[in-house]
Amino acid sequence: MMEVRVLRLDHRRVRDARITTHVCLTARALGASGVFLSGDHDKKLMGNVQDVVKRWGGNFQVEYCKKWGNLLEEWKDKGGEIVHLTMYGEQVQDVTPQIRSSPRDKLVVVGGSRVPSKVYQEADWNVSVTTQPHSEVSALAIFLHMLYDGKELDLEFENGDMKVIPSARGKNVVMKNKTEKNNLDEKVTGDD
């Protein structure tokens, strides 16, 4: 199966901390195998995401990428393809079948405040999730969901410290050494 990694451009430590964290966690939860962070080298954020991976399982790589231009070139040299998510691109519902049909690894690029034209030019596909302004987090989520055709919702994450058992009402979290049920005031996320 193709490997999917996400490149987050132009991360700014203070302003983007939560959005970039949500980009990373969305990439992980929806089946990407790692993220490259460009812009500020935010070790705290990277540590927080790695902590989620440790607690919740699966494999997910978090890497800093100082020169994203080189990464784009290396990715293509190794036979991978590049998908740039932008509200100006071709519509996701039109191009995803074609993107999915190519078995090559995919680098999904999500922008920062200003995306250089080089990204538009290097991308194999510029893809828009609606032509409206919204969020790189939701654009990434819907693109991955459509790329994987919904199968990402059934992914299993192995070797975590805890696991949620879906429940109509309340919380059912299985810890490695104990089971917690219906503790409705407990907060268990990687973000807050």
Largest CA distance in the chain: 52
Cβ proximity to its own copies, 29 vs 65, nearer residue: 29
For the bound state, the minimum distance from the C-beta of residue 115 to its own copies, rounded and expressed in Å, comes to 8
For the bound state, the minimum distance from the C-beta of residue 36 to its own copies, rounded and expressed in Å, comes to 18
In which order are the strands placed within the sheet that holds 61-64?
61-64, 34-39, 4-11, 106-110, 81-91, 125-128
For the bound state, the minimum distance from the C-beta of residue 147 to its own copies, rounded and expressed in Å, comes to 13
Cβ proximity to its own copies, 67 vs 134, nearer residue: 134
CA distance 167 to 164: 9
Q: Is 166 left (phi over 0), alpha (psi -120 to 50) or beta?
A: beta
For the bound state, the minimum distance from the C-beta of residue 146 to its own copies, rounded and expressed in Å, comes to 8
For the bound state, the minimum distance from the C-beta of residue 116 to its own copies, rounded and expressed in Å, comes to 8
Tokens of 13: 């430590």
Cβ proximity to its own copies, 134 vs 176, nearer residue: 134
Cβ proximity to its own copies, 101 vs 117, nearer residue: 117
Cβ proximity to its own copies, 103 vs 133, nearer residue: 133
**C-beta of residue 145 within 8 angstroms of C-beta of residue 30:** yes
Cβ proximity to its own copies, 70 vs 113, nearer residue: 113
Binding site for its own copies (CB under 8 A): 15-16, 18-19, 22, 25-26, 28-30, 52, 56, 87-94, 113-117, 120-121, 125-126, 128-135, 137-142, 145, 150, 152-155, 157, 163-173, 184-185, 187-192
Tokens of 191: 């973000």
Give the CA-trace dihedral at 174, 175, 177, 182, to 10 degrees: -60
CA distance 187 to 57: 18
For the bound state, the minimum distance from the C-beta of residue 129 to its own copies, rounded and expressed in Å, comes to 7
Query: Which amino acid is residue 19, in one-letter code?
Result: I
